[in-house]
Amino acid sequence: MLKEDNERLTRVGPGTPMGNLMRRYWQPALLSSELPERDGAPVRVRLLGENLIAFRDSNGKVGLVDAYCPHRRAPLFFGRNEECGLRCVYHGWKFDTAGNCTDLPSEPAESPMKNNIKLKAYPTIERGGAVWAYLGPKETMPAMPDYEWLRAPETHRHLSKTFEHCNYLQALEGGLDTSHSSFLHNNNLGNKQELRNRDGAPRIEVETTDYGYYYISTRNAGEDGKYVRVYHFVMPWQQMRGAITGLAGARNKVPKLDGHIWVPVDDEHTLTWNWMCAYDESVVLTPEYIADFESFSGRGEGDLIPGTFELKRNLANDFMIDRQVQKTKTFTGIKGLNTQDIALQEGMGPIVDRSEEHLGTSDRAIVTMRRLLLEATYAIERGEAAPGADPKSHGHVRPHDKLIPANANWREAFGDELRAKW
Beta bridge partners of 266: 269
Mean pLDDT of the region 311-334? 95
Average pLDDT over every residue of 247-262:
75
Percentage of residues of the chain with pLDDT beyond 90: 85
Over residues 350-362, the pLDDT tens digits come to 999 999 999 998 8
For residue 238, give the 3-state DSSP assignment. Answer: strand
* Position 180 confidence tier, pLDDT thresholds 50, 70, 90: confident
For residues 235 and 380, is the Cβ–Cβ distance under 8 A? Answer: no
Q: Is residue 297 pLDDT above 60, yes or no?
A: yes
The DSSP string of 67-125 is SB-TTT--BGGG-EE-SSSEE-TTT--EE-TT-BEEE-TTS-TT-THHHH-B--EE-EE
The CATH number of the structural domain formed by 26-138 is: 2.102.10.10
Find the mean pLDDT for residues 331-345: 94
Determine contact, residues 347/157, Cβ cutoff 8 Å: no
For the domain made up of 148-418, give the CATH fold.
Naphthalene 1,2-dioxygenase Alpha Subunit; Chain A, domain 1 (3.90.380)
Q: Which H or E run contains 134?
A: strand 130-134
Q: Kindly list the domain boundaries of the chain, sorted by start residue.
A: 26-138, 148-418
How far, in Å, are 45, 47, 85, 96, 254 from residue 67 at the CA level? 8, 11, 14, 14, 42
Determine the average pLDDT of the residues in 36-61. Answer: 98
Specify the amino acid at residue 284. Answer: V
**Average pLDDT of the residues of the chain:** 94
Question: Mean pLDDT over residues 243-271, rounded?
Answer: 82
Kindly write down the DSSP assignment for every residue of 358-379, as one continuous string. ---GGGHHHHHHHHHHHHHHHH
- Dump pLDDT digits (tens) for 117-142: 999 999 999 999 999 999 999 999 99
C-alpha span between 114 and 140 (Å, rounded): 29
Q: What confidence score (pLDDT) does residue 251 get? A: 54
pLDDT-based confidence at residue 46 (cuts at 50, 70, 90):
very high
Q: What is the pLDDT of residues 198-236, one digit of tens each?
A: 777 889 999 999 999 999 999 998 888 999 999 999 999
From CA 141, how far away is CA 295, in angstroms rounded?
37
Beta strands (DSSP E) in 173-283 are 203-208, 212-220, 226-234, 238-243, 256-266, 269-278
pTM of this prediction? 0.94
User: For 134, how many CA atoms within 13 A lie in the half-sphere containing its CB?
Assistant: 19
Which pLDDT band holds residue 385 (cuts at 50, 70, 90)?
very high
Same fold, 26-138 and 148-418: no
